[in-house]
Amino acid sequence: DADVTQTPRNRITKTGKRIMLECSQTKGHDRMYWYRQDPGLGLRLIYYSFDVKDINKGEISDGYSVSRQAQAKFSLSLESAIPNQTALYFCATSDSQTGSYEQYFGPGTRLTVT
Amino acid sequence: AQSVTQPDIHITVSEGASLELRCNYSYGATPYLFWYVQSPGQGLQLLLKYFSGDTLVQGIKGFEAEFKRSQSSFNLRKPSVHWSDAAEYFCAVGARGGGNKLTFGTGTQLKVEL
């Protein structure tokens, strides 16, 4: 089984709809991240969480919210989806105890907003 | 704040030829540096990382990278490319004390001609 899973893998939704993307991990890592990937722009950080009670905005948090329901679960919500939120979304985890800074990525969720 | 530049958007090489992908970073101190690979439809996989010590680091799949402080570079190399290396490659930088946050470059798309 994959260590970092994302659901759904693909989603098409309409403008104005609320949508939630979910991320779960079995790695036991304390830190979790949400990125979006757009062609030619690389990965940009949306939100990150250092533990269940510590959630922080990244560089492009407008229009998004997150919830860290447990150490292993980190959800990303689009309250009212708009077409320019069409992108590939990745969840990632890291372990602060190792000091390695290495992040482990899920397979991604491809979101299309029409 | 740190930043990463990958000056080559697309690179095409013949199978068996050598490869070098460029990465330049901006950061006031010695950074943590990473190369990730993204195969089509997949998440990101770590190829290699530099934290300290030997400036030439070896990674998976026969890749290596060299940290050059004087040039603020961390170029990825492979002596002989295989068709399966066709993918998108991302360089990333982490700031020491930055809480495991990474800043990614915009990526280089590698095409391998048979």
Over residues B63-95, the pLDDT tens digits come to 999 999 999 999 999 999 999 999 999 999 987
Q: Which residues contact A61 (CB under 8 A, 6 or more apart)?
A: A46, A47
Length of chain A: 114
For B3-45, the DSSP string reads EEE---SEEEEETTS-EEE--EEE-SSPPEEEEEEE-TT--EE
Contacts of B53 (CB under 8 A, 6+ apart): none
B-chain residues near A45 (CB < 8 A): 101-103
CB contact under 8 A, B102 and A103: yes
Interface test with A, best of B6, B44, B47, B90 (most A CBs within 10 A): B44
pLDDT, position B29: 78
Q: Tell me what pLDDT residue B105 has.
A: 95
Q: Do B51 and A45 touch (CB under 8 A)?
A: no
Predicted confidence at residue A1, as pLDDT, reads 58
